Amino acid sequence: MSRKSHVSETPATQLLRANGVVFTEHPYEYLEHGGAQHSAEVLGLDPFTVVKTLVMEDQDAKPLIVLMHGNRTVSTKNLARQIGAKSVMPCKPEVANRHSGYLVGGTSPFATRRAMPVYIESTILELPRIVINGGRRGYLVGVDPQVCVKLLGATSVQCALAE
């Protein structure tokens, strides 16, 4: 990791380093509401390989994380059925921030403030590498998607809808 473009450590990168995970750093100019499509565009990446970290909650307001391709949306119906919930919906941004300890737009699934179950779209696990938020707006890290299973105990689900 020779090129450090002045990105300081985040709880996410500290966790990755502490677990010996090799990752690449991908800082970019953050755009409010730009999302994964914007970061993929400015970094010259396929949005299918840019993974969004979505904080959602079930009918009892229990938080959970869904990792989804940057160019797909979550079928909350399919997800709820697969995880045995009555319903699943996105958290309001301020609630998501509270659960994760990160700001929406900079949410990493690694080193969240509160431990939450993590669900990962099954096709993400078929990719050789993904880029995922590194714990700050405008900062992605490239990792092997299996890291999400090893470090987060992510459960594979099938809930992607094409955008």
For residue range 48-93, what is the model confidence (pLDDT) as tens digits? 999 999 999 999 999 999 999 999 999 999 999 999 999 999 999 9
Q: Is residue 80 part of a domain?
A: yes
Q: Is residue 3 part of a domain?
A: no
Count of structural domains within the chain: 1
Q: Is residue 115 part of a domain?
A: yes
For residue range 17-57, what is the model confidence (pLDDT) as tens digits? 999 999 999 999 999 989 999 999 999 999 999 999 999 99
For residue range 98-140, what is the model confidence (pLDDT) as tens digits? 999 999 999 999 999 999 999 999 999 999 999 999 999 999 9
Q: Is residue 19 part of a domain?
A: yes
Q: Is residue 44 part of a domain?
A: yes
Q: Is residue 96 part of a domain?
A: yes
Structural domain containing residue 120: 11-162
| CATH number of the domain encompassing residue 72 | 3.90.960.10
CA distance 130 to 116: 21
Beta bridge partners of 58: 88
Helices (H) and strands (E) in the chain, counts: 5, 10
Q: Is residue 1 part of a domain?
A: no
How do 155-157 and 72-74 pair as beta strands? unpaired
Q: Is 139 left (phi over 0), alpha (psi -120 to 50) or beta?
A: beta
Q: Is residue 148 part of a domain?
A: yes
* Residue of 23, 2, 46 lying closest to 108 (CA atoms): 23
